[in-house]
Homo-oligomer: A and B are copies of this chain.
Amino acid sequence: MKVVIILGSKSDLEIGEKIRSKLKENFGIDSEIRIASAHKTPEKVLEIIKSYEKAVFVTVAGRSNALSGFVDANTLNPVIASPPISDKFAGMDILSSINMPSGVAPMLVLYEENAALAVAKIVALFDDNVRRKVEEYQRKKKEEIEKADEVVRYGNG
């Protein structure tokens, strides 16, 4: 199964690469990055998504996000939308990523590390190695907090 990160523009490349490196480092998952715009190169988007059999897609597009819904409506595969949070309009263009018409269901996950985690949990449903990586990842997160608590308690001393 493939993991494919589709960016609406090359200006989203930094985000895409951060998701890819989090997938690899935290969960040992390889992924590909592609760039195509639902507005400007829709046939290219369709060609990309049809070139993969089973896959998890991650879509990254800012401003009015047509890409996530467009990909989702044209594939049998699950789609995770992970748009950047705009500093314009109080970030409310996030609504373009979530208020979908009937029959269009990309799944929103903000922040690169969290998008990678959501992908990993889907992959983990069939890949026991990844499942162990998710377990380890969650355990580390817990330990970080427990350690921080210990440090601060001594600091209370």
Contact = CB atoms under 8 A, between A and B. Distances in A.
Interface of A: 1, 7-10, 13, 16, 32-44, 46, 54, 56, 61-66, 69-70, 72-74, 76-80, 85-86, 88-111, 113-115, 117-118, 121-122, 124-126, 131, 134-135, 137-138, 141-142, 144-146, 148-149, 151-153, 155-156
Given A73-B40, A152-B10, A100 B89 contact: no
Given A37-B145, A145-B37, A96 B95 contact: yes
A48 B98 CA distance: 27
A102 B92 contact: no
A108 B107 contact: yes
B33 A125 contact: no
15 contacts: A16-B152, A32-B156, A39-B69, A64-B95, A64-B100, A76-B131, A77-B121, A93-B96, A98-B108, A103-B138, A105-B118, A107-B109, A107-B118, A108-B108, A122-B122
A44 B147 CA distance: 12
A122 to B, nearest CB: 5
A64 B96 contact: yes
Given A105-B115, A105-B117, 16 more contacts: A10-B148, A13-B152, A32-B153, A33-B155, A35-B148, A39-B103, A44-B145, A64-B95, A66-B70, A76-B138, A77-B125, A89-B94, A98-B109, A100-B111, A102-B113, A108-B108
A99 to B, nearest CB: 4
